[in-house]
Amino acid sequence: MKWLDAVFEGVLRSSCQAAVLIGLVLLLQWLFGRQLAPRWRYALWLLVLVRLTLPISSRSPCSLYNLASLDFHGIGIS
């Protein structure tokens, strides 16, 4: 069952990261409105699509997700 916990933690982390990215894309589209060309709108949503389809991501010391430092062990995942 350890591998199932690891898979669940990975899916949960990926989903949270995608949700943050979706929020940023929507915020950018709202801020720029009609000034944002359709090409850029599609490029922003392509980032979300890539994030959702890639099951793994590389670690970076300068990531926005490091600021949040999500701790999944506090919700019962060991």
The type of residue at 55 is P
For the chain, what is the mean pLDDT? Answer: 80
pLDDT at 38: 92
- Is pLDDT of 27 > 70? yes
- Is pLDDT of 7 > 50? yes
Q: Which of 55, 74, 67 is nearest to 15 (CA)?
A: 55
For the stretch 43-77, pLDDT in tens is 999 999 988 888 666 666 666 565 555 554 555 44
Q: Which of 19, 9, 11, 14 is nearest to 73 (CA)?
A: 9
